Amino acid sequence: MAAASATFAIGGLGVALATPFDEAGRVDFAGFAGLVDFVSAESGSGGSFRAAESGGADFLVVLGSTGEGATIEAGERRELVARAVEVSPGLPVVVGAGSNSTAQCVRFVAEAVDLGADGLLVVVPYYNKPTPDGLVSHFRAAAGAARGKPVIVYNVPGRTGLNLTPSVLSRLWEIPGIAAVKESSGNLAQIGEIGRTLPEGKILLSGDDALALPSVALGAEGLISVAANVLPRRCKAMLAAAFAGKRDEALRLHRQLLPFMDALFLESNPVPLKAALALVGLCGEGLRLPLTGASRSTRTRLAETLAAISEGRA
């Protein structure tokens, strides 16, 4: 892994943690702590699923797209970050701190740093569609507020309506504190160009589970994963095999996981993920409006893919 700062080497498996809610729609902090424990455990416990599948995370990501950060209230945000830092078993905690308002983004970044975050995930501003100059100014402000903590730029044009092109990213690399990019464009040609032109010391992370293996081949040093909320150990094994040059093993695990990875995006993330977490008993499947529960067909597909994996049929 390339060193992003003196305190946090970005790379390997990052888990984009879901935010559990209770039946009344409140943040389930106990469920959140349990999920952190599951994805980071050194060894499984508490039943066959946990024993087989838990552990593997190299760092935690809180309040990203998967964590429904857009609908988390200010007080909940502060407590989630504080709890993540408190319950993390020594793993770095990256906090989603993006906004389409630069001033709000700066406040989110500063608050997360004050609460003990090890890094920040800052999404490309959505809705506004800023120019390249606006993007540079936005990320410069965010990096300045991070006070030396590494900033991961998050490119997800399917959600933001704006693709961060490699030419604009090359300008962001010049900003002190911009350490990595989470690339979720789904465009392998673009991922390849980012990898080809990556400056020394900067880091490319895959933001798509299904593209993690080809992204590693193109220069990615890690994955920020949705699937790893449920199958962290297998996701970590796939990455480890890829980094070690064990092509056949990495490809076997990729093919095993791919149907589940695809099922997680049959509907908007994290709708299927919440259903999958409930299926395996990790937490409830409550969502914040305007998101609503997964369809019956999605639940069926999730159950089938998880059964195939656990039974060795995938």
Instruction: Name 6's Cβ contacts closer than 8 Å, sequence gap at least 6.
Output: none
How confident is the model over 8-36, as a mean pLDDT?
95
Determine the residue type at 31: G
Going by the DSSP 8-state scheme, the letter that residue 61 receives in this structure is E
Cα gap 298→38, rounded to integer Å: 24
**Average pLDDT in the chain:** 94
Specify the pLDDT at position 312: 79
Highest CATH level, class, for 12-245? alpha beta
pLDDT tens, residue by residue, 178-208? 999 999 999 999 999 999 999 999 999 999 9
Indicate whether 18 pLDDT > 70: yes
- Residues labelled catalytic: 154, 182
Please compute, for residue 38, the number of CA atoms within 13 A of its CA located in the half-sphere on the CB side: 26
pLDDT above 70 as % of the chain: 95
* Sequence-separated (6 or more) residues with CB below 8 Å from residue 117: 81, 85, 93, 94, 95, 149
pLDDT at 51: 72
> DSSP assignment, residue 3?
-
For the stretch 99-151, pLDDT in tens is 999 999 999 999 999 999 999 999 999 999 999 999 999 999 999 999 999 99
CB contact set of 181 (below 8 Å; sequence gap of 6+): 152, 153, 154, 155, 164, 169, 172, 194, 202, 203, 204, 205
Do 138 and 153 contact (CB within 8 A), yes or no? no
Q: What is the pLDDT of residue 5?
A: 43
| Pair 224, 209: CB distance under 8 Å | no
Q: Is the pLDDT assigned to residue 219 strictly greater than 80?
A: yes
Confidence of residue 31 (pLDDT cuts 50, 70, 90): very high
Quick count: other Cβ atoms within 10 Å of Cβ 210? 18
pLDDT, tens digit (0-9, with 9 covering 90-100), for 257-297? 999 999 999 999 999 999 999 999 999 999 999 999 999 99
Give residue limits of the domains in the chain.
12-245
> Is the pLDDT at 7 greater than 90, yes or no?
no
Q: Which residue has the higher pLDDT, 54 or 59?
A: 59
For residue 15, which phi and psi values (nearest 5 degrees)? -105, 120
In this structure, of 50-59, 247-256, 270-279, the range with the lowest mean pLDDT score is: 50-59
269: left (phi over 0), alpha (psi -120 to 50) or beta: beta
- Is the pLDDT at 161 greater than 50? The verdict is yes
Q: What is the mean pLDDT of residues 216-230?
A: 98
Shortest CA distance to 36 belongs to which of 75, 76, 77, 94? 94
- In 3D space, the residue among 110, 75, 87, 101 whose CA is nearest the CA of residue 32 turns out to be 87
pLDDT value at 49 more than 60: yes
Query: What is the tens place of the pLDDT at every residue in 70-107?
Result: 999 999 999 999 999 999 999 999 999 999 999 999 99
Q: What is the pTM of this model?
A: 0.94
> What SS3 state is found at 278?
helix
- pLDDT bracket for residue 1 (50, 70, 90): very low
**Is the pLDDT at 48 greater than 90, yes or no?**
no
Model confidence at 3, in pLDDT bands (50, 70, 90)?
very low
Would you place residue 2 in the very low, low, confident or very high pLDDT band (cuts 50, 70, 90)? very low
| CA-closest candidate to residue 87, choices 54, 50, 39, 52 | 39
Q: Under a CB-based contact definition with an 8 Å cutoff, are residues 49 and 232 in contact? A: no
The pLDDT of residue 43 is above 70: no
Amino acid identity at 12: G
Q: Is the four-CA dihedral 76, 78, 80, 86 of positive or negative sign?
A: negative
